[in-house]
Amino acid sequence: MDERLENILSSYNGNNNEVIPILQAVQHEFGYLPEPEMSEVARFTGLPKSRIYGVATFFEQFKFTPQGKNLVVVCRGTACHVRGAKRILEEFEERLDIKEGETTEDLEYTLGTAACIGCCALAPCVMINDDVEAKLTPKKVADYFSKETADEV
Amino acid sequence: MAGLATSLGSGAMTNAIDELGGAASILAIGTNTTATHPIIALKVKDAVKSGAKLIVANPKEIDLCQFADVFLRHKPGTDVPLLMGMSKVILDEGLEDKDFIASRCEDFDAFKESLAAFDLDTVEKITGVPQDKIVEAAKIYAEQSPASIIYCMGITQHVHGTDNVLAISNLALLTGNLGKESAGVNPLRGQNNVQGACDMGSLPNVYPGYQAVTVPDNKAKFEKAWGVELSDQAGLTHTRIFDACHDGNIKSLYLVGENPVLSEADAGHATDCLKKTDFLVVQDIFLNETAELADVVLPATTFAEKDGTFTNTERRVQRVRKAIEPVGNSKPDWWITCELAKRLEAKGFDFEGPEAIMDEIASVTPSYSGISYARLEKGTLQWPCPADDHPGTPFLHGEKFGTDTGKGKFKPLEYRKPGEDIDSEYPLILTTDRSLYHYHSTMTRRVYGLNVLDKEELLNIHPQDASGLGVEDGQMVKVASRRGVVEVKAKVTDNCPEGTVSMTFHFSETPTNLLTCCELDPVSSTPGTKVCAVRVENL
Amino acid sequence: MKFSEIKKRADEEWNQLQQSSDPTIFIGAATCGRSAGALKTKKTFEEELGQRGISANIVEVGCLGPCWAEPLISIQKPGGPNVFYKNVTPKKATELVEKFIAGDDPLPDSALGLVGDKGKYDIPVLWDLPSFKSQQRILFRNFGFIDPTNINHYIANDGYSGLEKALSMKQTDVIEELKTSGLRGRGGGGFPAGRKWEAGFQAKEKEKYVVCNADEGDPGAFMDRSVLEGEPHSVLEGMIIAGYTIGAQKGYIYVRAEYPLAVRRLQDAIQKATDMGLLGKNILGTGFDFEIELFQGAGAFVCGESTALTLSMEGKRGMPKASPRPRTTEEGLFDKPTLLNNVKTFSYVPQIINKGGAWLAEIGTKDSKGTAVFALTGMVNNCGLIEVPMGLTIREIIYEIGGGITDDKTFKAVQTGGPSGGCLPEEFLDTPVDYDSLTAAGSMMGSGGMVIMDETTCMVDVARYFLDFTQKESCGQCTLCKLGTKQMLNILEDIVDGKGQPKDVNILLEIGEAVNGGSLCGLGQSAANPVLTTIKYFRPEYEEHIDKKRCPALACKALVSYRIDEEKCKGCTMCVKACPVEAITGEKKEVHMIDQSKCIQCGMCMEKCPKKFKAVECLPGRLNEGGK
Amino acid sequence: MADKVQLTINGLSVTADKGMTILEAALRKGIYIPHLCHHRDLDPVGACRLCLVEIAGKWTKIAISCKTEVTEGMVVRTETPEINEMRQVAVELLIADHDTDCLKCARNTQCQLQRVADHVGVDTERLARLREREEKQPIDDSNPFFNFDPNRCVLCGICVRTCDEILNIHAIDFAFRGLKTKIAGFGDKSRLEADCESCGECIVRCPVGALTEKDYKKPTHYVKSVCSFCGCGCGMRLGVRHDQIVSVKGDISSPANRGRLCVKGRYGFRFVNSDERLTSPLIKKDGKFVEADWDEALDLVADNFSKNKGEKFAAIASAKATTEDNYVLQKFTRAVMGTNNIDHCARL
């Protein structure tokens, strides 16, 4: 068993109600849910593997492929929608050359959406890693990337 | 079988399969139930779902372990100390059923004395099972009544298989878990009709209904019924018959529906014996490995082409019905044997059909007296069914045991080393098990889909052992015992404990039984195929 | 420790801050403040004060409410009032330090309002402002004033005294107070809290649970988050009282993992309450044990539904259980009796116990007591969190508190209740907000989102938006919700795409009624609401899309056209260069023309046309190739 | 009669057992209520929303009949205009999402969706407006005994519940969410790679053509018999067509298995009609087998046996053969050959 997984499991008892917290910890550690780790979680909790998979795939939070270093989450909330979130998403898709839910080939960015990140008064907004970027416009998105590129140079 | 017959008076399952559902605890020892008896395994899981406690005792981590409250992973061949250790815990904790012991059992003191040798320290050392687990299991078994034990070849196929069985019956007697619904000792019989074959006296020492051939009254009864004189000498057992063939003492062997070249322990030896037999008649549905050696092969029909009955592991007699015409020129087994008898000018073999045979069975077999095709048409019957109006018997020993005294007999036991010793040359223990997808081989190997699902023999080996030998998952290895060598693909898995490897024996391409040991249990003559010393080599 | 001692120490700490000889700067540092840059502002204050060698107290506080004014801070100089400043960027912070803290100019232009004695300041009193005047702050009473990570701030402001009082009461008396208060569940259903607690109390089993539903998932709603971030102890206190009342020893808070700050605040609050003996074993020496654990939801809207929520806590897929089934108070988490309430419901409880049920019953309407909390968003000037007495009208909320519609546009509709709610048109502006009035109008209270829409919002598109959400969040279990929402969405997409068919509105109504009537869970049974209410109130807009292929709000790309006004065009070629499909022709200094057959209605030309010309206009409907 | 309940369904007086659901009571009375996700062996989930009924009372309510227990005096109507409208929409939604190439489906005429659609009827105009699922999903034919066609799956969950509740294996479960929900094993791989034991219990219960037996031939009739593999002795019904066994069903009336079968029992019958079956007696001549007729073979054997009576003879019986076969063989050994040298593989 992977040592990192062993560490995670050591703080749990293997009860059924720990399934989601354990998967969250695994995802936090590995960046996604690798199959061998999910198998071990099944064994640890004494639950069928297919059930672990069924639970994991039910929730938005869990990913099954490696994710980008930076996570961009475009809010699709009502307030953001009426203030043009769709254009923001399109701008990110264009800049990153990926579609919603995908990861760039260099594993730098993953682009996602959320039902609402709860910053409605600052709509439209986007969460980049742990930071919220408020009152975005397509231009601000473009600026964000030119700044990134400039930083690299 | 010999074990339970001595201690309880009957070698069969004491309870009906359905009763497992009502058990408060179940001890499954020496049985990989989900693979060998899938439908009984479902009952066990049902019981667990409705609250029963499950104890699994097995050297291998089997599928049933997922449902177990306690998993006792004892070393192969250490069943006696494990079970005796549990008995000792029960007695030490005062959890025994004193009334039951006093009123229904005998020889308790000698048994109690023999328990002294099985203190927990010793038991832990021999079995490798931590003490607290043994205590936990003992308590569950003693306190969660009714308790049922199920066991299979993991108990019987040992050089001291009879001791193993007696250790089980001791445990059940000690806690009064016999003679009532959902409480009992249940050997899960392997073949579909092994119970019927035993009931019918396809055994060297008894007539139908377990009536000993050496008892003059029994001999007289059958001489009268069959109108001939009979031998008063017990015959040879299976393994001895093979030896006698080998030595030329037996000239003619009439072998029906078996494939010893693959299924017999130390199969190399068995093949030798058959080759040396003067005249070998094989009656089967396929030209299998054994039939290849025959002088004459007689084509029999399958169950689908004939009428008759099978008696399942819970003593349930059920009707088999002809669904299609015999394939080609094949004939039912009974018909072929009767034709031979007629050619030998014997009387009493002109049966019109299976129904007439059953009528004769009922007339000479007390436990089948009440069974007829007419009754079976309405439903199944569990023997003993001694009269036409008897409903059959779901569980045995309700009033008294079937022993000479009517009492359950405790048996003092001692620890004896398992079968073959390992040494530096043969450092691993090979134990045999089975696959869900095959039953022996003659039939299932001829079903395409089953061979897709389970296509080849695999040697299960613990990662630790594998890395020590430089063996990787999926590679071919050589397995050698003191009797033979086979090549097989390795499967690295911690289902197998360290020091033990396992294989099935369904594949003629990989004849596992070339390796196994045919040292016999001194009482039952069962070979100890579950413990055999081997060496694994990287190819 | 006795509660009186705890309280004494807390009061001391609080008074010390209040009477400090140093100025105190309160930074609104909830998620909304942080996203607007509050932490940078805070850092600036620290640096500026440090450089000047001014000693001051800097306190992070929860959200006051007016998100439009973030970053929002307040400054209280010794003996002076607490002055709130809006949109405090680092630059503004520097200015405030220089002019107000170091100097004496309170910069009235940057101020929002003040709390306390007005004194010499020429700044309006905060509570007198139109956007606060009709608010009534019960849940929010401490928001913006106390440090949520400082338990003593909470205790000094009557925190945990409700618990102390409850622990001395009989369980049935606690329930009586709740019943008297008329408090109804704030999760949306509006079930009377007293009756629910009573059912929990009466459940026979020994093992019971209290669960706080903090899985706030409605798009446009963030009230619960503000409570968790601004005053987490009030939720804990309510839960502990609940545990005492129904006889539970364990509570869980099911909080969205997408609320990291709220999670941290809760963890901190649980730890501090435990350390003080307000949570855990033998609470306040009464022998009552209660512990609270956090459970982070893994992202599924449906888990806001009670059975889906408890299932997911048990490590299962959050697929709601079909009725008939036992109530959660009989069989909930781990099949044990479970009292499940929303964050806000728990948060009301300490004050109800403290002040008595009759106090809350005074506020609000006959059947809806107390206050309503809304996240007021959309096309309204003052976005933010508001707390108003039940019964206030929608008009008052929008035009007084909200400060009217953005850019002086025309109000078109208000959406409440999240994806399960509905859109109400202008004629409902005078509807009082309470459970029953909103339901009667065809919408619902929900958990408190209120989105304002103006003339530029297309109602068909709004319905499509909500359906898209609901469809994506359907658990996938039952036929009607899973497939019905998808088919409705398909039709709505066709309509906004100009491919609507004459019978579409009827088909939408038929499917919608079947979905609402026959779905398995509460979410499915309200999934069609956005479609049904928009059809009910804005049917002509649908018909215009379908029959005339026009989007009157100019929001549906496929149903608008762009045209260059020949009079206004100066031939600057900005639009020609901007057009991604080369649909615009015309040389420099010549009037440009859009080829309607090539145009994809992206609107880039309109965006790029210099403001001084405003030569590109957007028209409803598609022009033919000749531009007619 | 304390354990009986009297109720009215569609004006008919119905007697039901206490604890029964309305759906069970109605079906037993011969009143059809459309349903897809109900199966008598499994716990109800109420997912298909087809079995809605109206229950009269202080507040008349609509409830799913598969989960609502009967109560004394209950008045139920199964077909009101309101319910029919909802059902019709549900059926149309299912049809639009379903591969409707029925004649090519192995469950044609046995399909519950067909039955429901037939009963409820559809509004063809509305149905035409619904969009079919965009992309067809590949059929999973990896298992040698059955196929899984996701395009015909109605996600009733009967297979998942069967594998869980009846087999306790739980090889498959629902995976993903919403419209993407599907039935999958761990990692959404092929069925062959799932923890599936191929017992076929789910194939038997699938109400539509999603799970079907490979190379299925419909039997002309069934013969009750017993499985010939292990000692469980499962009762089975052999499906016969012409001179072949073409399928096997579990026998619900058998107390040994109550209708359940394992992979060998359900699919292992194919050895019966194997090409490799022995069809004629064989006599070894010069080391090679030569076909013989019965008389020749039997005469040859009898001739040899007659010379080796007594202890020079032994018989090995078969635990696969019938009890009657065994009786005859041991009688032959003892009464004709004069020896007790008979045994079988009881110990193996």
Question: Does A82 share its domain with A38?
Answer: no
Chain C: nearest CA to D71, how far in angstroms?
13
Calculate the alpha carbon distances from C600 to B326, C301, C604, D57 in Å.
76, 35, 10, 58
Task: Grade residue B451 by pLDDT with cuts at 50, 70 and 90.
Answer: confident
Report the SS3 class of residue C78.
coil
Asked if residue D91 lies in contact with residue D50, where contact means CB atoms within 8 angstroms, the answer is yes
* DSSP-assigned letter for residue D315: E
Give the pLDDT band of residue D181 (cuts 50, 70, 90): very high
Report chain C's mean pLDDT, rounded to a whole number: 92
Plot region of B94 (φ>0 → left; ψ -120 to 50 → alpha; else → beta): left
Query: Token pair for residue C587?
Result: 């040389």
The amino acid at C347: S
Q: Are the Cβ atoms of B256 and D256 closer than 8 angstroms?
A: no
Average pLDDT over residues B269-284: 89
∠ CA(C252), CA(C255), CA(C258), 5° rounding?
160
- pLDDT of B519 strictly over 80: no
Q: How far is it, in rounded angstroms, from Cα C249 to Cα C242? A: 10
- The pLDDT tens digits for C359-374 are 999 999 988 999 999 9
CA distance B97 to C319: 49
Residue ranges per domain, chain D? 4-129, 146-271, 308-347
Which residue's structure tokens are 């379908």? C546
CATH-assigned architecture of domain D4-129: Roll (3.10)
| C chain contacts of residue D97, beta-carbon cutoff 8 Å | 483
User: Minimum mean pLDDT among B261-275, B472-486, D60-74: which range?
Assistant: B261-275
Distance CA D323, CA B198 (A): 9
Residue C134 placed within a domain: no
pTM, entire model: 0.90
Residues A89 and A116 occupy one common structural domain: yes
Q: Which of C476, C501, C520 lies nearest to residue D178, judging by beta carbons?
A: C476
Q: For residue B26, give both structure tokens.
A: 């179940």
DSSP 8-state secondary structure symbol assigned to residue D66: T
Same structural domain, A53 and A31 = yes
- Res. B449: pLDDT tops 90: no
The β-bridge partners of D244 are D241
* pLDDT over threshold 90, residue B361: yes
Q: Is residue C117 a part of any domain in this protein?
A: yes
C 239-268 residues with CB < 8 A to A:
257-260
Residue ending a domain, among C301, C330, C361, is C361
Domain co-membership, C527 together with C575: no
Q: What is the pLDDT of residues C162-185, one digit of tens each?
A: 999 999 999 999 999 999 999 999
Residue type for position B339:
E
Closest by alpha carbon to B282, among B295, B273, B271? B295
Partner-chain residue, chosen from C477, C483, C517, that has the shortest CB–CB distance to D97 = C483
Which residue range forms the structural domain that includes residue C332? 159-361
> Which of these three, C335, C361, C387, is where a domain ends?
C361
Q: How far apart are CA B47 and CA B70, in angstroms?
A: 15
List the chains bordering chain B where 3 or more Cβ pairs fall under 8 Å. Answer: D
Candidates B193, B235, B291; nearest CB to D322: B193
Side chain identity at residue D342, one-letter code: I
For residues A104 and A145, membership in a common domain is answered with yes
DSSP C66: -
pLDDT surpassing 50 at residue D348: no
CA-to-CA distance for C561 and C547, rounded, in angstroms?
A: 17
- State the number of CA atoms in the 13 A half-sphere of C608 facing the CB: 17
Residue B533 bridge partners (DSSP): B429
- Rounded to a whole number, what is the distance in Å from the CA of B476 to chain D's nearest CA? 22
Q: Check whether residue A15 and residue A51 sit in a common domain.
A: yes
Q: What is the pLDDT of residues C312-362, one digit of tens each?
A: 999 999 999 998 999 999 999 999 999 999 999 999 999 999 999 999 999
- Percentage of chain B lying above the pLDDT 70 cut: 97
* A16 close to D (CB below 8 A): no
Residues A31 and A92 in one domain: no
Q: Give the lowest-confidence range in A45-59, B104-118, B152-166, D129-143.
A: B152-166
Residue D230, beta-bridge partner list: B191
Residue of B nearest to D281 (CA): B298
What is the three-class DSSP state of B344? Answer: coil
Tell me phi and psi for residue C113, to 5 degrees.
175, 175
How many domains are there within chain A?
2
pLDDT bucket at A149, cuts 50 / 70 / 90: low
Chains C and B touch (3+ CB pairs under 8 A): no
Residue C173 lies in a domain: yes
A131 or C616, higher pLDDT: C616
Chain C residues near any Cβ of chain D (below 8 Å): 300, 317, 319, 322-325, 471-480, 482-484, 486-487, 490-491, 501, 503-504, 507, 510-511, 513-515, 517-520
Residues A110 and A80 in one domain: yes
**In this structure, what token pair is assigned to residue C571?**
């031939």
Segment holding B481, helix H or strand E:
strand B476-481
Q: Based on the fold, state whether residues C400 and C445 are members of the same structural domain.
A: yes
Are both C473 and C443 inside the same structural domain? no
Report how far residue D265's alpha carbon sits from residue C481's, in angstroms, rounded to the nearest whole number: 40
How many helices (H) and strands (E) chain A has is answered by 7, 4
Would C307 be classed as within a structural domain? Answer: yes
Confidence of residue D90 (pLDDT cuts 50, 70, 90): very high
Q: Choosing among A78, A90, A113, A122, which should be mutated to test the C contact, i.e. which has the most C CBs within 10 A?
A: A78
Q: Rounded to an integer, what distance in angstroms lies between the CA atom of residue B439 and that of residue C9?
A: 78
Number of folded domains in chain C? 5
Mean pLDDT of the region D325-335? 93
Region at C603 (left for phi over 0; alpha for psi -120 to 50; beta for the rest): left
Domain holding A16, by residue range, is 3-58
Supply the CATH number for residue C375's domain: 3.10.20.600
pLDDT band for D347, please (50, 70, 90 cuts): very low
Tell me: the pLDDT tens digits for D36-52?
999 999 999 999 999 99
Q: Do C298 and A23 lie within an 8 Å CB cutoff?
A: yes
Same domain membership, residue C598 and residue C542:
no
CATH number (domain holding residue C357): 3.40.50.11540
Cβ pair D282:B354 closer than 8 A: no
pLDDT of the residue at C396? 94
* Strands of the sheet with D288-291, listed across from one edge: D288-291, D282-285, B296-299, B279-284, B252-256, D313-316, D342-343
Residues 6+ away with beta carbon under 8 Å from C434: C364, C365, C367, C368, C372, C390, C391, C445
Pairing relationship of beta strands D221-226 and C422-425 according to DSSP bridges:
unpaired
- pLDDT tens for residues B310-353? 999 899 999 999 999 999 999 999 999 999 999 998 889 999 99
Mean pLDDT of A75-87: 77
**Distance between CA atoms of C150 and C134, rounded to whole angstroms?**
30
pLDDT tens digits along C207-260: 999 999 999 877 778 889 999 999 999 999 999 999 999 999 999 999 988 888
A38 belongs to a structural domain: yes
Task: Give the whole-number percent of chain D exceeding pLDDT 70.
Answer: 99
Residues D131-153: what's their mean pLDDT? Answer: 91
Q: What CATH code would you report for D146-271?
A: 3.30.70.20
Write the DSSP symbol of residue B233. Answer: S
Q: What is the per-residue DSSP string for C190-257?
A: --BHHHHHHHHHH---S--EEEEEE---STT--HHHHHHHH-HHHHHHHHHHHHHHHT-SEEEEEEET
Q: How far is CA B19 from the centre of its chain?
A: 20
Pairing outcome for strands D12-17 and D4-9: antiparallel
Taking CA–CA distances from C488, the nearest residue in chain D reads D130
In order of B221, C341, C364, the CA distances from C389 in angstroms are 101, 21, 5
Task: Number of A to D CB contacts under 8 A, please give it.
Answer: 48
**Are A99 and A132 part of one and the same domain?**
yes
Q: Are strands B25-29 and B147-151 parallel, antiparallel or unpaired?
A: parallel
Last residue of a domain, one of A13, A35, A58: A58
All residues of chain D having their beta carbon less than 8 Å from the beta carbon of residue A58 are: 174-177
pLDDT tens by residue, D234-288:
999 999 999 899 999 999 999 989 899 999 899 988 888 888 899 999 999 998 9
With CB atoms and an 8 Å threshold, state whether D240 touches B17. Answer: no
Q: What ipTM was predicted for this assembly?
A: 0.90
Same domain for C103 and C199? no
Domains of chain B: 2-188 (3.40.228.10), 194-382 (3.40.50.740), 428-538 (2.40.40.20)
Give the pLDDT score at D215. Answer: 86
- Indicate if C464 and C444 belong to the same structural domain: no
Task: Specify if C143 maps to a domain.
Answer: no
Same domain, A51 and A101: no
Whether residues A48 and A74 fall in one domain: no
Burial annotation C373-409 (CB, 10 A radius, 16+ → b, else e) = bbbbbbbbbbbbbbbbbbbbbbbbbbbbbbbbbbeee
Phi/psi at D4 (5° precision): -110, 150
Q: Which residues between 88 and 117 in chain A have a beta carbon less than 8 angstroms from any beta carbon of chain C?
A: 114-117
Give which of D173, D179, D191 to mutate to test A binding, by max A Cβ within 10 Å: D173
Averaged pLDDT, A30-54: 93
Question: At C94, which CATH number?
Answer: 3.40.30.10
- Would you say C322 and A63 are in contact if contact means Cβ atoms under 8 Å apart? no
Residue whose token pair is 């609507």: C500
At A153 the pLDDT is 43
Residue in chain C nearest A14 by alpha carbon: C315
* Residue D67 scores a pLDDT above 80: yes
Chains that touch D (3 or more CB pairs under 8 A): A, B, C
- D177: contact with A, CB 8 A cutoff: yes
With a cut of 60, say whether residue B1 has pLDDT above it: no
Same domain, A14 and A83: no
CB within 8 A of B10, min separation 6: which ones? B4, B210, B396, B397, B402
Q: What is the pLDDT of residues C401-423, one digit of tens each?
A: 999 998 889 999 999 888 888 89
Look up residue A24 and give its amino acid: Q
**What is the predicted pLDDT for the residue at C510?**
96
Place A151 in a pLDDT band, splitting at 50, 70 and 90: low
**How would residue B527 be classed by pLDDT, with cut points 50, 70 and 90?**
low
Instruction: Give a yes or no: residue C281 inside a domain.
Output: yes
Angle at A19 between CA C329 and CA C476, to 5 degrees: 70
Minimal Cα–Cα distance from D336 to chain A, Å?
58
The rounded percent of chain C whose pLDDT value lies above 90 is 72
Contacts of D185 in chain A (CB under 8 A): 49-50, 53
Q: What is the pLDDT of residue A2?
A: 81
Q: What is the DSSP string of C362-431?
A: TSB-SSSBSEEEEEEEESBSS-EEEEEETT-BHHIIIIIIS-SBGGG--EEEEEESGGGSEEEEGGGTT-
User: Is residue A63 situated within a structural domain?
Assistant: no
Has residue D103 got a pLDDT over 90? yes
What's the average model confidence in pLDDT over C36-54? Answer: 92
Closest by Cα among C69, C255, C463 to A78: C463
Contact between B261 and B267 (Cβ < 8 Å): yes
**What does the DSSP 8-state code read for residue B200?**
T
Q: CB distance from A142 to chain C under 8 Å?
A: no
Least confident segment among A110-114, C42-46, C402-406: A110-114
In this structure, the answer to whether residues A75 and A148 fall within a common structural domain is: yes
Return the amino acid letter for B156.
T
Residue ending a domain, choose from C516, C547, C578: C547
